Amino acid sequence: MREIEYREAIKEAIIEEMDRDPKVFLLGEDIGVYGGAFRAYKGLLEKYGPERVVNTPISEQAIVGGAVGAALTGYRPVAEIMFVDFCTLAMDQIVNQAAKINFMTGDALHVPMVLRTQGGSGTGIAAQHSQSLESWFYHIPGLKLVMPATPYDVKGLLKTAIRDNDPVVFIEHKTLYLNKGPVPEEEYTIPFGVADVKREGSDITIFAYSAMLLKALAAAEELAKEGISCEVIDPRTLVPLDTDTLINSVKKTNRLVIVSEAVERGSVASDILAIVNDKAFDYLDAPVKRVCGLNTAIPYNSKLEKACIPTKESIIDAVKEIV
């Protein structure tokens, strides 16, 4: 199978969906001539024109508000917010409008929009451009939350997101765009709420998503050399969450490490821990461990930045502590 970059998989998904449905269009800052901050839209302005590739002013409120309005009139907008940090400027539109309109109208109105954004650290762009804010959206009823780690997953899940009738927050990690992986040439989609067992094992389960999945897999490879068999679970979508795959894995391995780049306090990792305690406590042979970001803003200094988030070594240490 051919291998393509993560950002190329995003572009392919968008082209296929724009060709399939004329109601799909793009809007965001610098997505026109420039092709987007991470060049996932390169060439699309020439292909579809300015009516379907809408280069917006620098106003996150306008981008999301425009997307909500367009979705309510039958379009399927894909709105890009350049950094997840900038969603702070549009939280009213995301949380009080997009997420709640379907509920408040008794299912009479839908908001079929995708909010594409990127998060995470690793590129030295400091505290206001390096956050992992997925727990904000995870907390809000009415939003779906997708965080793909591989080119295969990002393409299949983005196509599903564009076809969904509800608002989807689609967060891509900034360090993944140049990663290559196998992606079929034929069309495919990936359903929401279906986790993927990226590596089978018997001694311990590692639950990891987005860029942390790659570190978890690297840690599992190292641990295998020492005779520790790790099962690595990638949820792919956090809302809806495939709890069955996770719980069944914990029942098999009897141990769990949860890896998330976001700060530990109030994190998705904390909720996953609670879910496992509720549903599989009697199967646990050791306390569940979280390996998360430190409760601090991300510093500009590259060495300090690396020290603030999980590493392959910190995952290995957590696994060894409970195995």
The residues annotated with a catalytic role in the active site are 60, 129
92 secondary structure, DSSP code: I
Question: Which candidate, 52, 45, 47, 50, places its Cα nearest to that of 70?
Answer: 52
Cβ(182)–Cβ(6) below 8 Å? no
What would you measure as the largest C-alpha separation in the chain, in angstroms?
A: 58
Which amino acid makes up residue 95? V
Q: Which helix (H) or strand (E) holds 47?
A: helix 44-48
What are phi and psi for residue 170, nearest 5 degrees? -115, 100
The answer to whether residues 226 and 266 touch, using CB atoms and an 8 Å cutoff, is no
Strand spans (E) along 19-166: 24-28, 53-55, 76-81, 114-119, 144-146
